[in-house]
Every structure is written in C-alpha cells, then in structure tokens.
C-alpha cells in the first residue's frame, strides 16, 4: 500500500533509508509517493537538500494513515490463513564464481532467514542465463555479465557488480608456465582450449576476448560441466581463462594476464523484476556481504 511507503518516509525522514527498509529502489518509492500526492491533491512531504519533513497536511495524513495501515496489516494477517500461506519463489542462476568466492553457504543462510521464500538454484555450466532471464525461466542470475557486444537489449537488465577479479590463464599446476608472475594472452597461441559447449555463452565470451587481443584459438575440449572442465585442466589437457579464485577452489594454477583484464561476479535481473521485494532484499544482502571485495 502507498500509505506504508509514506509512513516509512515519515519514520526515516529520508527517501533512501525508507526505500532500503521496504526493499525497493529509491526511484520506485519516489514514484509511489508522487502518485499518492497527486491523488490527494497536496504535498505530504517538504523536500530539501538535507532532510525530508512533513507538511501540515502531511502530518494530518500520516496520523490517519497510521491507523489505517495497522488495520490493514491486521486484516492481511487474518485473511492470509497461516496454514495456507503462499510462498514466493525465486529461480536463481548460479555461476561458478559464486562457489569459488565462498558465497553459496551465505546465500542459503539468507533463505533460512526468509521462510516465506522458496528457491530453485540453476547451476548448469555454460548456460545462457541472460536468455533464461528474458524468457522468464529465471528471476535473477549471479554470474559474469558478458561483454557488451554479446548482450542484446542490454538496457533491459539491471546488473550490480559484487566481486571484481583479475582474469587469469588457468592451467595445470605442473604446467611450466604456472610459476610465471604474469602471462600475455599471446602466450596461449596454439594451446588446446577448455571451454563450454559449442556456441555457449562461455565459449563466445572466451573467443571474443581472444579475438579482441589478436589471439588465434585452435583445438578445443568442450563440456557443459565445470567439474569436467577443471578435471581436464588439472590433467594438463589444455588451458582456459578465469578468475584467480578458481585456483584454490578447483586445484589449478592461475597466472594473471598482462595487460590486466578484470571481470566481475554480478547480480543480474530484468529491470521489471528489480523492485520485487524478494529480489531487492537478496540484492541488498549480497551487496553488503561482498562490500570490500572489489
């Protein structure tokens, strides 16, 4: 209800803090308040650079709205019928960086603390999460956003960087190059490349980066499973590109690329889903969890 939005702004005296408490974006909250004021025909809040205060009519409105909000909350509780409670469901695509950065257990704890949410995790390596988001098969994805030329209708997505990592050439620990401090992309000329299935987003991203830097790729090992790819890598069957966090997690060597390239684990969803309370709550949780990891 819009009155809940108004009461949250009254309580926090700040649109940003009110939006955070409601798990919505500040623009969405501002639009709801503006619409409410237009319907009422007067301003509820007086806005200045430093604070938000109630107008005289706004104070009267909030006093009456508080009683109405409390009555509405009691009504919702009565008609919701606890035994027949409806659970909201989130379908989340998880990229491998979620695991290598140690985030999965924390994400599960988030859902432990939100018993009204059900969750389905989709973890297929090389899956095109962006297409799944557009088709409604996923609500959000935690993965690396592909380079701009590989993303169609990029403006329809909201993406928030969570963890930024330097790109490395991943290889077996026994590889003679594994002890190098840095490596140039040209040094993987002629190497066998380990990647996702043919024309998967993973393969297209790897080819895009290499072509951009003038690297010709030759023979490939392809798999739709990250564990299979890492086993090939550990056995010295080829090399691939990835973040340093893969090294310890999958037991491989990671040599940073020079000149430096970086990628990030992103929170990605469609713009129309960004303000859903459950989506906004998880985004806020992850941003706080990953603060300082950039």
The CATH code that applies to domain 2-83 is: 1.10.10.10
Note the pLDDT of residue 83.
47
Query: Does residue 14 contact residue 70 with C-beta atoms inside 8 Å?
Result: no
Can you give the chain as a three-state secondary structure string?
Answer: CHHHHHHHHHHHCCHHHHHHHHCCCHHHHHHHHHHHHHHHCCCCEEECCCCEEECHHHHHHHHHHHHHHHHHHHHHHHHHCHHHCCCEEEEEEECHHHHHCCCHHHHHHHHHCCCCEEEEEECCCCCCHHHHHHCCCCCEEEECCCCHHHCCCHHHEEEEEEEEEEEEEEECCCCHHHHCCCECHHHHCCCCEEECCCCCHHHHHHHHHHHHCCCCCCCEEECCCHHHHHHHHHCCCCEEEEECHHHHHHCCEEEEECCCCEEEEEEEEEHHHCCCHHHHHHHHHHHHHHCCCC
Distance (Å, whole) CA 58 – CA 109: 40
Note the pLDDT of residue 181.
96
Query: Does residue 271 contact residue 28 with C-beta atoms inside 8 Å?
Result: no
Long-range contacts from 202-210, C-beta under 8 angstroms, 24+ separation: 202/125, 202/126, 203/126, 204/146, 204/150, 205/144, 205/146, 205/147, 205/150, 206/240, 206/241, 208/146, 208/147, 208/149, 208/150, 209/147, 209/167, 209/185, 209/241, 209/261, 210/185
Distance (Å, whole) CA 11 – CA 2: 14
Tokens coding 45: 């809040």
Query: Does residue 143 contact residue 95 with C-beta atoms inside 8 Å?
Result: yes
Per-residue tens of pLDDT for the chain, all 294 residues: 688 888 889 988 888 888 877 767 788 888 889 989 999 999 999 987 778 899 999 999 999 988 888 887 777 666 555 444 456 899 999 999 999 999 999 999 999 998 889 999 999 766 788 889 998 999 999 999 888 777 765 458 888 999 999 999 999 999 999 999 999 999 998 899 999 988 888 898 898 988 888 888 889 999 988 999 999 999 999 999 999 999 999 999 999 999 999 999 999 999 888 888 899 999 999 999 999 775
Distance (Å, whole) CA 130 – CA 123: 14
Note the pLDDT of residue 149.
76
The domain 88-163+265-290 is placed in CATH, from the list 3.30.70.20, 1.10.645.10, 3.40.190.10, 3.40.50.300, at 3.40.190.10
Distance (Å, whole) CA 221 – CA 203: 11
Note the pLDDT of residue 30.
87
In this chain, the answer to whether the domains covering 2-83 and 165-262 adopt an identical fold is no
Cis peptide before 184 (omega within 30 of 0): no
Note the pLDDT of residue 156.
82
Tokens coding 72: 């509405």
The CATH code that applies to domain 165-262 is: 3.40.190.290
Note the pLDDT of residue 223.
92
Note the pLDDT of residue 201.
84
Note the pLDDT of residue 1.
63
Q: What is the pLDDT of residues 31-73, one digit of tens each?
A: 889 989 999 999 999 987 778 899 999 999 999 988 888 887 7
Q: What is the pLDDT of residues 170-203, one digit of tens each?
A: 999 999 999 999 999 999 988 999 999 888 888 9
Distance (Å, whole) CA 157 – CA 216: 32
For the chain, domain boundaries: 2-83, 88-163+265-290, 165-262
């Amino acid at each position: 209800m819009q009155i809940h939005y108004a009461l949250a702004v009254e309580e926090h005296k700040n649109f940003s803090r009110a939006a955070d408490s409601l798990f919505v974006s500040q623009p969405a909250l501002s639009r709801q308040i503006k619409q409410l004021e237009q319907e009422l025909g007067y301003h509820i809040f007086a806005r200045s650079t430093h604070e938000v205060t109630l107008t005289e009519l706004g104070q009267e409105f909030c006093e009456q709205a508080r009683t109405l909000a409390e009555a509405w909350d009691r009504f919702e509780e009565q008609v919701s019928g606890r035994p027949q409670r409806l659970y909201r469901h989130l379908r989340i695509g998880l990229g491998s960086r979620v695991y290598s950065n140690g985030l999965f257990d924390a994400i599960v704890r988030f859902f432990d603390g939100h018993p009204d949410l059900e969750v389905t995790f989709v973890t297929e390596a090389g899956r095109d999460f962006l297409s799944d988001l557009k088709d409604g098969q996923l609500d959000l994805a935690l993965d690396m956003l592909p380079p701009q030329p590989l993303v169609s209708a990029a403006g329809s997505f909201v993406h928030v960087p969570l963890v930024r990592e330097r790109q490395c050439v991943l290889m077996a620990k026994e590889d003679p190059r594994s002890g190098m401090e840095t490596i140039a992309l040209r040094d993987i000329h002629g190497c066998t490349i380990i990647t996702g299935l043919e024309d998967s987003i993973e393969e297209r991203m790897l080819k895009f980066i290499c072509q951009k830097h003038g690297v010709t790729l030759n023979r490939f090992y392809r798999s739709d499973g990250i564990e299979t790819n890492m086993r090939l890598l550990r056995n010295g069957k080829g090399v691939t590109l990835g973040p340093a966090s893969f090294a310890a997690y999958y037991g491989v060597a990671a040599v940073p690329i020079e000149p430096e390239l970086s990628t990030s684990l992103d929170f990605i969803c469609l713009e129309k889903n960004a303000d859903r309370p459950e989506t906004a709550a998880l985004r806020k949780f992850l941003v706080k969890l990953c603060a300082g990891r950039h």
